[in-house]
Amino acid sequence: MFQKTSFTTLIVGVFVVYVLHTCWVMYGIVYTKPCENPKFENCINPYLAGKPRLQLSIYTALRPNADGGHTLIHEEEDFDVETKFERIVNVSLPKKTCKNGTLYAMVFLHQAGMSPWQDPRQVHLVSQLTTYMIPKPPEVSLISGEEAEQLKRKPKGGDSAVDRPVSHWRSRLTLNVVSEDFIFDRDFLPSDVHRYLRVFQNGKKRVYLPLLFVDELSNRVKDLMEINSTSTELPLTISYDTISLGKLRFWIHMQDAVYSLQQFGFTEKDADEIKGIFVETNLYFLALTFFVAAFHLLFDFLAFKHDISFWKQKKSMVGMSSKAVLWRCFSTIVIFMYLFDEQTSLLVLIPAGVGSMIEVWKVKKAFKIQVIWKGVKPTFIFGKSDESERRTVEYDTLAMKYLSYLLYPMSLILSLMVPFLTGVYVFGFLFMLPQLFVNYKFKSVAHLPWKAFMYKAFNTFIDDIFAFIITMPTSHRLACFRDDVVFLVYLYQRWLYPVDKTRMNEYGLSYTEEEKPKGKAHKD
C-alpha cells in the first residue's frame, strides 16, 4: 500500500520541515501586529509621535542601583532621535574599580532641562562597563628568546594575576532607540519588548515612552582593556543610532541567547565568536548564511552517508589510489587537531572530526586490515591483492615516483620556510594527484564514489562562501579553494571518460561480465 521510503528522502524531508519551521519562527520574531484602529482602547501610542524635547544623560556608578553615588560622564542636550553620533569620553575610574572591581553605566533618556532623577517620564537602562577575563598570555620573542615584561614580573610559586580573571574595561557603549511611530496592540504585545516598555495614561490614551536599548552584542573581546592599579582614566566610545522594531526584537533574542550560553559556562571569548557573526554581518547576509549553513550540514551528512555506503560495499581497490587514501587519512587527522587547537567554529570542526573517523575506517578497508585481539594485544592481518589490484598499485607507485620529483625539493623548502601544518595542506593537494593519474591510466572514473563526490562538491562551493564568514585559520581558508581545482579536474575526467559498459565498475567488474549467466549453459 505504501511505497518504501529511502533514508535519504526521509532526512531531506525532515530538513525541509526544519527550514520551514525556522522561517516561521523568524517571521514571528521580526513581525509585530500593529493596532489597526488608533482610537481603540487596546492601542498603545508612541510618546515620540508628539516630538518632545529630549536629553540623553549617562552616569557611572559602582552599583547598578547607584547606591554609593554616581558621576555624570556625558550629556546630549536637545537629543535628536533620528541623528546618529559617536562620542569619545574619558572616564575616571574609582579606586575600587582599579582594584579588580566593577563599574556600571546608567543611561537615561528624559525630558530636556530636567534632572533624570526627578523626571517621572524618563527611561533608563544599566550596562556593565567592566567584565572579568583571564589576561592575554605574555608574549615571547621567537627571535631573541626574551620573555615579555609580564612574564618577568610573574611571582614564583602559587597562583598569579596572570592565571586569575581580572577586571577588563569595555571601551564601547552602543545605544539604540526605536524611531518608528509604531502603535502596539495590547492583546498582541510581544513578550520580548514588554520588559523595555514603560506605559503611562495620558487622558484616554495609553502612551509608551521611547524604547531605549543597550547593544551588548557590540562589546567585543578585541575592544577590552585590562584594568590595573595604575589605571586612573580610560576612554569610552559612546555610539548611538536608530533601530527598527523588528531588528530590536531579533537583537533581544540573540542577546538573551548569548547570556544563556555564558550562564552555562561559556567564557567571554567563546561568546565573542557568536557576537561577531551578528555584529559584523548584515542581517540579510546573516539570513543567507543560515540557509547556507543548513544546506552545508545536509550535504555533509549525505556525503558521509554515501561515502560510507560506497566503501562498505567495496570489495576491490581496482582503480583506487591506496596511497592517496592513506595520506588523506593522515592529513585529515592533523587538520582536525589543528582546527580543534585553534578553537575553530563548530560548523567546521564537527564535520572535520567525523570525516577523520571515516578516513581511518577507509584505510582499514583499502588495505584489507583485520584486527584480531589476543587479550589486550591487537594483531593486524593484511589481506592479499589480486592481479587487477596489483596493476592499480603499479600505476599508483608510478604516480608517486613522478610526484616525488616535485615532492622532495618542496619538502626541503617548506621545512625551512613554513610551519608543519601548512606543509600538510600543500601536500594534501599534491597527494590528490595520484588518483587523477590512476584515472588517466585506466581511462575510467567508474570506480569513484560519484554520489559522495557530488555532495562534497556542493559543500566545496559552500565552503568558498563560508571562507569569508566563519572564523577559521587562513591555511584552511585557502584549502577550500584548493579543493575546487581538484574537483574541476575530476569533472573533466568524467566528461573525457564517459561510462562504457565494457569498462570495470567500482567493484572491479564490467557490466558485460555482470550480465553473463552464472549457471551452466543448456545443451540442446
- DSSP per position, 406-449: HHHHHHHHHHHHS-HHHHHHHHHHHTTHHHHHHHHHHT--TTS-
| Beta-ladder partners of 17 | none
Q: Which of 1, 225, 214 is nearest to 97 (CA)?
A: 225
Terminal Cα-to-Cα distance of the chain (whole angstroms): 44
Residue 25: per-residue pLDDT: 85
Give dist(CA 359, CA 325) in Å, integer.
Answer: 8
Q: In the numeric block, which cell numbers belong to residue 123?
A: 527611561
Residue 148: per-residue pLDDT: 47
| Beta-ladder partners of 54 | 79, 111
pLDDT less than 70: residues of the chain: 1-5, 38-39, 137-163, 281, 345, 347, 407-408, 410-433, 450, 452-453, 455-483, 499-524
Residue 477: per-residue pLDDT: 61
Residue 80: per-residue pLDDT: 93
SS3 content of the chain, % helix, strand, coil (to 5): 50, 20, 35
How many other β-carbons are positioned within 10 Å of the β-carbon of residue 3? 5
Starting at the earlier edge strand, list the strands of the sheet with 166-170: 130-133, 166-170, 224-226
Instruction: Record the pTM.
Output: 0.61
Q: Which of 411, 401, 519, 424 is nearest to 479 (CA)?
A: 424
- Phi first, then psi, for residue 41 (nearest 5°) are -65, -20
| Beta-ladder partners of 203 | none
Residue 141: per-residue pLDDT: 47
Q: Determine the 3-state secondary structure of 454 from DSSP.
A: helix
Residue 511: per-residue pLDDT: 44
CA dihedral sign, ordered 45, 47, 49, 50: positive
Q: Which of 56, 47, 52 is nearest to 239 (CA)?
A: 56
Helix (H) / strand (E) element for 273: namely helix 268-279
Place of cell 596511497: 323
